[in-house]
Amino acid sequence: MTSARPTASFIQEDPWRIFRIMSEFVDSFETMAPICPAVTIFGSARTPPEDPYYGVAEQLASTLARQGLAVITGGGPGIMEAANKGAAAGGAPSVGLNINLPLEQKGNPYATVPLHFRYFFARKVCFVKYSMGFVFLPGGFGTLDEFFELLTLVQTQKIQGFPLVLIGQAYWTGLLQWLRQTVLAGRFISPGDLELVTLVDDADAAAAVLLDYLRRVGPPATVAKAFA
């Protein structure tokens, strides 16, 4: 049996890729460490300004900003733009964690603290590390990926039991029914796991959940406690 040997590609490229990854973490950690507490708002990049959910995201971010909470988004158009717009209008740090993609993802002008990422996983760490609550508006694969990843982190107690708020009963009810009737019924999750999620239909209800948590529990004492 011959032993595996590093390819020329690995020797020439992968060690330098590690340094690029490190630089993304160092730059983002230095920028975001003073920005706390914060709430991350997820949602579709394809949502136009005339869509009702655009207005919901903007209103929610503005409400949170006036209560002293920073708002973090993926930095792109659609729901992300709306949330950054509301946060900036409310006078709070409006963070946009943009990702380099060939389509859809272009930075919006309302992120007063813009950061740019090449790697999805580095970007995801920053969403989680600096937030004390997460809101999910209707979106596509990216939003669903972020929802299930955050739900898994809370379920497995890798992060604190921060609020996970879904906005839009018409959009989310079918998914929650499937989780209850198929996944829970098949004993792939535990009965209490679906209680980790709160479904609401408007910005005021979402803000109430987040602000109630902040009053009861308070922001993380240290960033380290927010992401073990």
The domain in which residue 79 lies consists of: 10-226
CB 67 within 8 A of CB 161: no
CB 86 within 8 A of CB 61: yes
CB 41 within 8 A of CB 72: yes
Domain presence at residue 2:
no
Domain presence at residue 21:
yes
Domain presence at residue 166:
yes
Rounded to 5, what percent of the chain is helix, strand, coil?
Answer: 50, 15, 35
Q: Any idea what the CATH number is for the domain that residue 214 is in?
A: 3.40.50.450
Instruction: Write down the pTM of the prediction.
Output: 0.88
Domain presence at residue 4:
no
* DSSP designation for 55: H
Instruction: Kindly report, residue by residue over 164-220, the tens digit of the pLDDT.
Output: 999 999 999 999 999 999 999 999 999 899 999 999 999 999 999 999 999 998 766
Whether 52 has a pLDDT exceeding 60, the answer reads yes
Instruction: Kindly report, residue by residue over 66-115, the tens digit of the pLDDT.
Output: 999 999 999 999 999 999 999 999 999 999 999 887 665 677 999 999 99
Domain presence at residue 1:
no
Distance (Å, rounded) from C-alpha 218 to C-alpha 197? 19
Joined together, the tokens standing for residue 151 give: 């739900």
CB 107 within 8 A of CB 100: no
Domain presence at residue 124:
yes
Domain count, the chain: 1
Joined together, the tokens standing for residue 39 give: 């709430």
Q: How many helices and strands, by DSSP H and E, does the chain display? A: 8, 7
Joined together, the tokens standing for residue 17 give: 């890729």
Domain presence at residue 99:
yes
Domain presence at residue 74:
yes
Distance (Å, rounded) from C-alpha 151 to C-alpha 73? 17
What's the residue count for the chain?
228
pLDDT band at 5 (very low <50, low <70, confident <90, very high): low
**Closest Cα partner for 164 from 187, 204, 194, 142?**
194
DSSP 67-108: TT-EEEE-SSSTHHHHHHHHHHHTTS-EEEEEE--SSS----
